[in-house]
Amino acid sequence: MLSDGGVHAHINHAKALCSWLYAEAFENVFVHAFTDGRDTDPQGGADY
């Protein structure tokens, strides 16, 4: 999940994973994001 609320998930986890994938030269990485909407704005996913 992607969220900046920090209760169920945090976007920093995804950022760290992307940094690691880049450092390891992974190619063709796709992200299927599940936005939280519980502790953040339910319509805020487009902001990310």
Domain ranges of the chain: 11-43
In whole numbers, what is the pLDDT of the chain averaged over residues?
Answer: 79
Which amino acid type is present at position 41? D
Q: Is a pLDDT exceeding 70 seen at residue 37?
A: no
- For the question of whether the overall pTM of this predicted structure is more than 0.85, the answer is no
Q: What is the pLDDT of residues 8-31, one digit of tens each?
A: 677 788 889 999 999 999 999 888
Q: Which residue has the higher pLDDT, 16 or 45?
A: 16
Q: Cα(30)–Cα(38) distance, rounded to whole angstroms?
A: 24
User: What percent of the chain has a predicted confidence (pLDDT) above 70?
Assistant: 69
Which residues touch 29 (CB under 8 Å, ≥6 apart)? 18, 21
Which amino acid type is present at position 48? Y
Predicted local confidence at residue 20, as pLDDT: 96
